[in-house]
Structure 1
Amino acid sequence: MGWFNRKKESRADETTVTPPADDVLLKALLGSTTITKEQALNIPALKSCINFVADAVSMLPIKLYKQENGKAIEVKDDIRTKLLNDDTGDTLDAVQFWRALLSDYFLGKGGYAYIGKEKNQYRGLYYVDETNISIIKNVDPIFKDYDILVNGKTYKPYDFIKLLRNTKDGAQGISIIEENSLILSVAYNSLVYEENLVKKGGNKKGFLKSQRKLGEVAIEALKTAWRNLYSNNSENVVVLNDGLEFQEASNTSVEMQLNENKETNSAEICKLFNIPVNIIKGTASSKEYTNGFKMGVMPVLIVIQCALNRELLLEKEKSSFYFAFDTKEMLKGDIKERFEAYKTGIEANFLQIDEVRFMEDLPALGLKWIKLGLDSVLYDVETKTIYTPNTNQTSSIDNLKGGENDANRNKE
């Protein structure tokens, strides 16, 4: 009798009906809301926003300038600009280098790149995955200091370029996943929920009603057939014998508003990057694109510039040298707006025609004149001479000043 009782209890456990497992959105809200970096990258809106920023950064050339006599002079043929714009000296080229750094910047503790240098001679920039970085900090909240460990080897902070998001210690940043875990978890679990619906082949949930009590063998056979039906195999069919009836369960609010929720979640994720949602949809106007660049990309450019100026400049260079992105290409806008801006600059006399042609990558025409007024007086800024076409007269500013001084002396 004991043996039969134990066997009966075991069979009862096997036939226990488990609750539905496809309500993953509800599980996400009731359980943990933390997702991994790999899971976050499965969210299309988040991946698109990171790609937009990374693509913009990788397309912009980084230049080195020197301040001299109140002017910014570009320093060409410097090895550091080659490392930043072309060949990093690592297995990654410059485009791959910035993509990897910015992915870690947004989704990890920060973007880290080791600076290869021998006696103030720069040799290369080597990307290091943020998962291989460990930070050892001191305990002083005022005079903060830290070491960087990679595979157990200790490095100093100046050995690395560090792109840190919302950092409070200068050693590691706070990722978007940490700050906005709830919205990202909902967006990710929405995808999981949709995948689960697809795996079931679109079959609806429901209930089986029987007019008489079923035996254990019949229940097991029915449950097996039902599992096969939801395995997304078109050949699987459930045959309901006499006395069995299927009653479809009504759609939940999540099922009925799935697409609407996905669009809302995408828009909310774009807000985290300050990027208009139309940009990732591919329907952005020129103004929206410019606004997205100014709000979403420019702050990242400033972070990069500060990091480069701190770590890639020698101490003796920091007073007069600086790195900067050339952003004029991204901010040009469409041709009509651009040419109207050029027209305003020329008419206001703070742009010359050849300067405009240089911005448009056109050859200079040798036109060094600017208009001084009445559309008939021309001034040569190099020779400081004034030419009046109506009278065909040329005069010098210095001579005019001398004449004024003589006239003043005669009055005295």
Structure 2
Amino acid sequence: MEFLNRLLGRQTRAAVALSDPYLAEYFGQGGGALSYVDPTRASGTAVAHRCTMLIAELLASVPLHVFRRGDRGGRDRAADHPAYSVLHDMPNEEQTAFDFRLSLTLAILTLGNAYAEISRNGRGQVTGLRLINPKAVTVERLRSGRLRYTETGTPGKVLLQDEVLHIRYRMGPDGVMGQSPLQIGRETFNLALAQNDAAAKQASKGFRPEGAVVFAQSINPNQKLDVLDKLRQKIERNDSTSGVLVLDGGADWKPFAFSSKDAEFLESRKLTALDICRIYGVPPSAAGITDNATYSNIGEESRALVQRCLAPMARRIEQAMNAALLTAEGRKAFFIEHDLAGLLRGDMGARYEAYRVGRDGGWLSANEIRRLENMPEIEGGDEYLTPLNMAPAGTTEEK
């Protein structure tokens, strides 16, 4: 029957998507502008490394707390919640919270997916998180609609959706896996790698020229070999690649390739570096590109880094943790959130002026200001001031 179906063209086979970025990796293909790009090499370029480490280090350094929802939209740190110490102190016995969150964010920014196994106690409360190598995980959707994660290697495990914290960079078309920024912008990263290879090739040769010696008249083969031998001795000698070269007999030197200046090689590398910054949403000055930086625009770009780059990434991580680490009932009373306020602070003069406005306006107390500045509270510091020339509408007494 199978032969008959094949003969009549009725046999169906599972199709493999040619756009799968890991298909080229499986067959060992690593080049080409539209092909798979090696995450290790691409993330190792100077600008990509600075962008990914900057985002990961800043997010790992800011506080990540479990908050309890208060009355009228208030919030209090829920230090008694089991997940609080896991996220704030140590998620497991081998890693600090900083190391864990740094590795988690780097996996998102390089591979597009980050996984962590969730440990729970007998009451179903989170007691620990263990990082899982994203390259060693396969994900499949069961008939029930839930996900199953299979970890290969050591220790090999099969985990269900409730046992895994899965954070994605950008949801793929299948609605399951995240897409890597290195694969989304693979043309840019492949160009950067090609430029690095070209620069390394020239540097390894000591920037020695390549070209041809053209004679006005033909010479015999022995003379050609003699000319080549003398040129190699002069140009390719180890102690020096410079000196005076005399070409007689009407000989002329014709270079094979353009110089870096003629090919605008350096400018092209600068544009590629800017494109990598655009992919990650990192302002150029934050990545160390200060060609057009000034004192004023560096301050604006620092705020743009928090608002346009770190805040969306923080929200992505927060919502994934809220969904995986808190139950549906627990999310009604608790939530997990980064504190990015410290990254948005201005200098001391700007901060104190803002505190003065809040204190005089009656919506900041002395202790609230002291907590923002990491100072101990004082007695009577919870009182709010009431401006003398203001009162709620409709409460002014008629005289």
TM-score range, shorter-chain basis? 0.7 to 0.9
What are the Cα deviations for residues 288-343 of structure 1, in whole angstroms up to 9, with x where unaligned?
Answer: 21111111111010011001101111343122111111222112122222222222
Give the 3-state SS of the residue equivalent to 1:330 in structure 2: helix
Give secondary structure in 1 for the equivalent of 2:177: coil
In the alignment, is residue 81 of structure 1 matched against residue 84 of structure 2?
Answer: yes
**Aligned match of 1:180:** 185
Contact kept in structure 2, 1:184 and 1:269, CA below 8 Å: yes
SS of the equivalent of 1:173 reads coil
Q: Which residue of 1 aligns with 2:272?
A: 265
Greater alpha carbon shift after TM alignment, 92-101 vs 104-113: 92-101
Equivalent of 2:66, from 57, 64, 72?
A: 64
> Contact between 1:115 and 1:122, CA under 8 Å: does it hold in 2?
yes
Instruction: State which of 94, 98, 101 in structure 2 corresponds to 1:95.
Output: 98
User: Is the Cα contact below 8 Å between 2:108 and 2:114 reproduced in 1?
Assistant: yes
Select the residue among 26, 35, 38 that pairs with 1:36.
Answer: 38
- Asked if structure 2 preserves the Cα contact closer than 8 Å seen for 1:290 and 1:333, the reply is no
Question: Is residue 2:333 matched to residue 1:320?
Answer: yes
Deviation of 1:64 (Å): 0.8
Structure 1 residue 234: deviation in Å? 2.8
2:387 is matched with which residue?
Answer: 372
Query: Which deviates further from its counterpart, 298-307 or 59-68?
Result: 59-68
Distance 1:258 1:313 in 2: 52
**Structure 2 unaligned blocks of 5 or more:** 1-29
Letter in 2 for 1:101: L
Cα distance in 2 between the residues matched to 1:237 and 1:221: 20
How many angstroms does 1:149 deviate by? 1.0
The corresponding residue for 2:309 is: 296
Residue 358 of structure 1 and its aligned partner are, at CA, apart by 2.1
The structure with more strand, counted as a fraction of residues: 1
Report Cα offsets for 1:76-112 as digits up to 9, x if no partner. Answer: 1444222223322153332222222222212214011
One of 245, 253, 272 as aligned partner of 1:247 = 253
* Residue matched to 1:106: 109
Change (3 A) 1:74 1:205: same
Q: Among all aligned residue pairs of Structure 1 and Structure 2, give the percentage whose two residues are the same amino acid.
A: 17
C-alpha change, 1:204 and 1:146, in structure 2 (3 Å) is: same
Q: Does 1:131 align with 2:138?
A: no
Distance 1:166 1:372, change over 3 A: same
Q: Which SS does the other structure have where 2:385 is aligned?
A: strand
Q: Distance in 2 between matches of 1:107 and 1:230?
A: 43
Q: More deviation in 339-348 or 306-315?
A: 339-348
Taking the aligned partners of 1:186 and 1:220, their CA distance within structure 2 comes to: 38
CA RMSD of aligned residues (A): 3.4
After the TM superposition, which of the residue ranges 214-223 and 260-269 deviates more from structure 2?
214-223
Distance 1:324 1:246 in 2: 70
Larger displacement relative to structure 2 (118-127 or 187-196): 118-127
Letter in 2 for 1:129: N
Q: Conserved in 2, the CA contact under 8 Å of 1:225 and 1:237? A: no
Paired with 1:80 and 1:373, the residues of 2 have a C-alpha distance of 46
Q: Is this contact kept in 1: 2:31–2:37, CA < 8 A?
A: no
Structure having the higher Rg:
1
> For 2:149, what is the secondary structure of its paired residue?
strand
CA distance in 1, matches of 2:369, 2:233: 70
